[in-house]
Structures are given as C-alpha cells and as structure tokens.
A and B are shown apart, each in its own frame.
Chain A
Amino acid sequence: MELHGWGRYPRQQATLALPLSNTQCATTLAASAPLIAHGLGRSYGDSALAATVLGTPYLDHFVAFDDSTGALTCQAGVSLDAILRTFVPRGWFLPVTPGTRFVTVGGAIASDVHGKNHHAAGTFGAHVQHLELLLGNGAVVRASPTEHADLFAATCGGMGLTGIILQASLALKRIASSDILQTTVKAPNLQAALDAFAEHADSTYSVAWIDCLAKGASLGRSLLMLGEHATDGPLQVQTRPPTPVPFDLPAVLLNHASVQAFNALYYGRIRPPVSQQRLPFEPFFYPLDAVGQWNRLYGKPGFVQYQFVLPQAAGVAGLREVLAAIAASGRGSFLAVLKVFGPANANFLSFPQAGFTLALDFKAEPAVFTLLDELDAIVLHHGGRLYMAKDARMSAATFKASYPTWQAFEDVRARWHAHGKFASSQSIRLGLQ
C-alpha cells in the first residue's frame, strides 16, 4: 500500500505489518527486516517510511499505573490522546506534549519530542523512567538512564533506528484543573518577541505565533502565548470529534494571498498588547487537532515542514537572516511557530538545544526545495540544525555536519545489533547504515 507522513510528501509503496503482540513483533522482525516502526504517522516526512513498516496500532494497552506517583507504564502504540482521555479526569497530565495529541508514546520517545514547556521540563525522554526495546537480534532489553544508558540515549531521539520500543514508563504530572490560564502578549517585531520570551522565562508554557510575511520594521512580529494550569475548575476532556477536511483542496487555494490573509487575521484578533483568557487545555495545546486531516489543505502535492534551531549565540541576527530570506522568497508559510528552548540533553540525535526554534510549512514544490537548501546553509552557518521528525529532504552532508554525534550513534547501533535491521527512507537518505 502507499504510505506517507503527515506532510503527504514523499509517498512510498510499503508492506505494512500490524503485529497484535510483542511476540508477533519479534516474528515480524525476524521475517521482514530491515524495517522501521510506524506510530500514528505524525512525523511530516519519511522518518516512519520504508519498504517494510511495522505499525503499532494494536500495541495500545496500558500496562500499569501507580495512582500515588503518576507512573504510567504502557505499550508503545498508546496515543497521547488515550492517555489524556483516561487520566485528565483523574487529575494527571502529560509531562511534555507536542502540538498534536495524535502521536504514540513510541513516536514521542523516538523523536524525543518537545512541548511548550521545553525551557523548564526538557524533552519527552526526560520523563521516561525506563523502556523495553526489541533489538535487531530478537532480544528484548530494558533501558533507562541507569540501565544500558547508551542504548537509552540513542533510543530517545533515535527515530526508531535502535529497535522497536515495546513499552515505556512515564511520569505523569498532577494537575488540579484541565483548564489553562493563557496570557497573550503582542510583540511588534522579532526583538520584542525574544525579549518577551526572556521576560516570561518562568512561565510553565510559552510559544509564539510569528507572522513570516511581515517585513522591515515589523519583521518577526508575533503573538506570544503563555500558559499555566488553572488551580481550580473542572477535570475534563472534550468529546467533540474533529471537523474533517474531507478531500484534497486544490493547491491554488493556498496561494500567497490566502496565507497573508490568514496571518493578518490571526494577528488582528487580539487588540490589547497583553490579554488574559481561561480555556480548556485542548485549544491551548492542540489548536490544529480541532480540524481533522488539515494536512489536506495543501492539496495533492503535499507539504514540508521546516523546523530548525539556532543556538543562543546566533541570536536575533541569525533568525532575522532566515526570516528575511523567507519573506523575500514570498513563499510564506501557513504556520510559523517560534519557541525558545532550554538546554540540550545528552541523547545522541535529540533536536532541541539552548536557542531559538522556528517551524514553518511550505508547499512541496521545486522552488521551495531550492529555498530550503539556501536556508540550510544559513542555519548551518550559525551552528543550528533541523528537526528530523519534520524533515523530508535534508542532505546527508547537512545532517552529519549539524549532528556531529551521528558517528557515536552509529557505534551504539552497531553494539546493539541495529544495523541491517532498522532503516527508514530518511535514515538511508541521511547516510546512516
């Protein structure tokens, strides 16, 4: 069957195995390696694509839960949505969550995902107490920061290339309410946005929506969204299903004008410079989940998301350089999200590092690929790197230059029997064994 990631680019003919148990995972691996694990397919590019793919929808069981500590053990195919539905009503929340709740625990570990609290809470992997991994030789090992620490550090952020994560134990966090108290700060330009991040560094959650088409004095104008868990109110999840986008919209609908209109609308919605609002956690964390399959808005060709991080030292100048290049190209993105990261961790391929990260969408078309190559050069020049979970096109040279620990990662894979057993279209493109 034809498989693709969330960006619907690239597409790949694949054989999909859907094991019902850990035992069947092992038999699938023995019979069909090399292969790659596939969760809910929310990575944008080809991280979860290969000629043979092992899907985890049926490995979706909770295994154990400790009501006193919030320690949850579950199979890797459990979605963050399922965790929220079950545990928010009991006063527990995810320690780290990406901008969609439709990802699996396995996918969240493999991409070592970050959320709006990265500056304070680190990545998803920081809250994984231990995990069980099916290795290329069929053995199942337990790894944690203290047991087989090399394997653990390679698996968190390892894009499925060390083995199949079968289950994991996470530390959920206590909440008193499912509501979020949101503060929105209007920032007229990039410097103001970064200043606002710094000023609000003690906020639990922070992220900015940035208008990529603004030029000149308003380059980088943004809305900074800060959030805190409410201390009173309901403990509930919304049950309304997402409004679907039922068919591929023609690509012309997403031309420059409509993108501009969207950004203007978003920016114009908030009048006062600082405003406050109480809202359920879903619209705060997952605004895009309200529209099912919004990825179809880009039409048949699909789209790519470009997410990079620039180290603190590159500062405003580096960001401004990238934004200017994008604004000049006129290929503004539907979405642009800016966040200030906390410090990097020791996981070999984990993306975040202290600095600024920006994520933008582009229609998948030749001119965009040329532009992105140019952006790569700027990002690399400033010592930055790209997020593999979003990537569909970076070159092996770019990858190896920006993730200098790739060789050490390969050594861990060699030690733990991963070579020849786990590979994705992405890992092949990036020159990994």
Chain B
Amino acid sequence: MKKILIIGATSAIAEATARLWAAQGHQLYLLGRNAEHLQNMAADLKIRGAESVSYAASDLNDFAKHAAALDAATQALGGLDIVLIAHGTLGDQKASEQDFSVTLQELNTNAISVISLLTHLANHFEAHKHGSIAVISSVAGDRGRQSNYVYGTAKGAVTLFTQGLRNRLHKSGVQVLTIKPGFVDTPMTAGIDKKGLLWASPEAIARSIVSGIEKRRDVVYAPWFWIGIMAVIRGIPERVFKKLRL
C-alpha cells in the first residue's frame, strides 16, 4: 500500500489515474481547487477500493500556500511514496499574443506553480531517499509552434526542470517521471473536434502513468506512438519548420 499525493487531482487524466490506484487499495490525498468535484471524487475513490482518501481545496496559483498544503498532505498520509502533478490549462494563444497578463497567468499555472511545488517536494524526497515524482508535461513542450507556443513554453520548462531534477535526485534513489501525453479527450480539449486516431482516452494515459511509475521510467510518451511522431517533428530543420503552418 502506497501513500500517494495527487496535485491537480480533478483533472480527467489525474482522476483516471487515481481510479487505478484506488482499485489497488492505496492511500490517496487529493489537492485541487474545486471542492464540489474533490468531494465527489473522494467518495468515489473510497468505494472503488482506496484504503483512505483525504482532500484539500486551494488555488495552486497561490504559491505562498504550497509549503503548508504539502505539509498538510504529507501529515495526513503519514509520508509520501508517490506524487503526481497534473493541473494545467490549455490557454488561449491568441489572447496571450494580445495581452502579456494572460501569458503570465498561463506560465504561472502551467510552469511556475509546478516549479514551486517541485522545489518543496524535491527537498522532501531527497531527504527520505525513496519514492516517485511524476509530472504531466506535454508533447507540446517538445517544440515551439505558432498555434500554442505559450502553453508549449510552459510545458517545455516543466520538461527541462524535471530533467534537471531527475539528474539531481537519481543519487538519492528518487524517480522523477516526465509524462508527455499527446491529444487526450478531456475537458481541457472540449472545444476541439475529436475525430481521428490520434486521440486517446484519459484511461489510456492513466495506464501509461501507473506503469511508468512501476517500471521507474524517466520519460513516458502517452500513448507510446507519440515518441515517433515527436522524433519526426523535432527532426525537421528550423529553416523548414518556421515555414510550416503548425
């Protein structure tokens, strides 16, 4: 039985992951901002078999509260074996182009809040010398594209930050897993037409996350075929890439 903290727990991908962990009988602590959703989720996960479920609601863009929120979670669980960081917003690229305050908000939600949380968590895990930190980044962080480079910038920062952290925590026996989903059918992408074979369910991503942690992987593309797609996209020379409509 593991002690698992899920941050941004109400995300569809996080919830699907939490259900897999609940069925395995683990202890869960949910951090998110929507109290109604968190309460529904907690009752549900308990029925699905979680050993215990607690939750707390707070806006993760309030960085000053991170230390206390993480302390409360660690206390409630009696330690930490796994942390999953999942919150995020897709943002409105066009709005960001017109107004820097929108860009800043997106960077805060998708990058700075994650970096703040990881700064606290890294020290905890480094001291305890065991466990797994899993962070949801995105394939969008692999290369900047005109259609969503603000979001991509934030995810790119998360990818790079977790890479550095992995290097730092390796000697302490702590796993740092960077998860890079492709297109996932969740509320975040509700506005997009979801036809086509590239779209995955949150449950599929959840299985990749759980197995990525079990196998102590470093980076997981989810579903797996995105590793090939992104290799191709990263391989296109910049002088060609800049002319593409992506």
Contact = CB atoms under 8 A, between A and B. Distances in A.
A20 interface: yes
A62 B37 contact: no
A13 interface: no
Residue among A23, A61, A64, A75 with most chain B CB within 10 A: A61
Contacts of A75: 40
A65 interface: yes
A78 to B, nearest CB: 9
Q: How many B residues touch the partner, as a band?
A: 10 to 19
Contacts of B187: 18, 20, 58
Looking at chain A's contact residues, is the secondary structure mostly helix, strand, loop, or mixed? Answer: mixed
A61 B36 contact: no
A62 B47 CA distance: 7
A61 B36 CA distance: 12
Contact of B44 (A18, A21, A23, A61): A61
A64 B34 CA distance: 20
Contacts of A1: 193
A363 to B, nearest CB: 24
B186 to A, nearest CB: 9
Contact of A64 (B37, B41, B47, B48): B47
Interface string B43-74: 11001110000000000000000000000000
B48 A63 contact: no
B240 interface: no
A20 B43 contact: no
Contacts of B34: 20-21
Given A58-B187, A61-B43, A63-B43, A20 B48 contact: no
A41 to B, nearest CB: 14
B36 A63 contact: no
B28 to A, nearest CB: 14
A1 B185 CA distance: 15
Interface centre among B37, B47, B193 (most CB of A within 10 A): B47
Interface string A41-83: 0000000000000000010011111000000000100000000
Contacts of A18: 187, 190
Q: Which of B12, B37, B49, B193 has the most chain A CB within a 10 Å cutoff?
A: B37
Given A18-B187, A20-B37, A21-B37, A62 B193 contact: no
Contact of A86 (B41, B48, B190): B48
Determine the interface band of chain A, counting residues with CB < 8 A from chain B: 10 to 19
Given A20-B187, A86-B47, A61 B193 contact: no
Contact of B40 (A61, A65, A86): A61
Nearest to A1: B193
B36 A65 contact: no
A18 B202 CA distance: 15
Contacts of A58: 12, 187
Interface in B1-39: 10, 12, 23, 34, 36-37
Interface in A19-49: 20-23
B48 A62 contact: yes
Given A58-B12, A64-B47, A21 B193 contact: no
Contacts of B43: 61-64
A378 to B, nearest CB: 41
Nearest to A23: B36
Nearest to B40: A61
B36 A62 contact: no
Given A61-B41, A86-B23, 12 more contacts: A20-B10, A20-B187, A21-B34, A21-B37, A58-B187, A61-B40, A62-B43, A63-B43, A63-B47, A65-B47, A75-B40, A86-B49
4 shortest A-B CB distances, which residue pairs? A61-B44, A62-B47, A61-B40, A62-B44
8 contacts: A18-B190, A20-B10, A21-B36, A58-B187, A62-B43, A63-B40, A63-B47, A65-B47
